[in-house]
């Protein structure tokens, strides 16, 4: 599931502030290389034994990720369900309660980055 109108796409932040802000909201910077990083927020459906991830993709537009002053721009916001052994399925429908929770996290992150 892609969040087309998240309001996050195109927002920019330096790496240090984005890391700090995202971490306070429960995101973890998992995948990263010199010019791009992915921030994930994990949601668990304990009743149905499922895990969902809200994923924020970023790309360095100034500098490289080993520098806390590097400027990152958000490129995409999407959500998927985990698949065995290490993937995410973006096509399977996600329960409305988890979509709503993801939308709230998106809004919180947006507010913090626009401040």
Domain definitions of the chain by residue range: 12-114
Each residue's pLDDT tens digit, 98-108: 999 999 999 99
What are the C-alpha distances in Å from 82 to residues 55, 88, 90, 101, 108?
12, 5, 9, 17, 24
The CATH number of the structural domain formed by 12-114 is: 3.30.310.100
Each residue's pLDDT tens digit, 51-103: 999 999 999 999 988 899 999 999 999 999 998 877 889 999 999 999 999 99
């Amino acid at each position: 599931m892609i969040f087309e109108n998240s309001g996050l796409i195109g927002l920019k932040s330096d790496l240090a502030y984005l890391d700090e802000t995202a971490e306070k909201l429960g995101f973890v910077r998992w995948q990263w290389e010199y010019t791009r990083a992915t921030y994930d927020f994990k949601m668990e459906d304990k009743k149905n034994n499922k895990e969902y991830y809200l994923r924020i993709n970023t790309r360095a537009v100034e500098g490289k990720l080993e520098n806390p002053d590097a400027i990152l721009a958000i490129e995409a916001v999407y959500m998927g369900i985990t698949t065995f052994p290490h993937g995410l399925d973006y096509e399977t429908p996600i329960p409305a309660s988890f979509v709503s929770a993801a939308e709230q996290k998106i809004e919180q992150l947006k507010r913090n980055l626009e401040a």
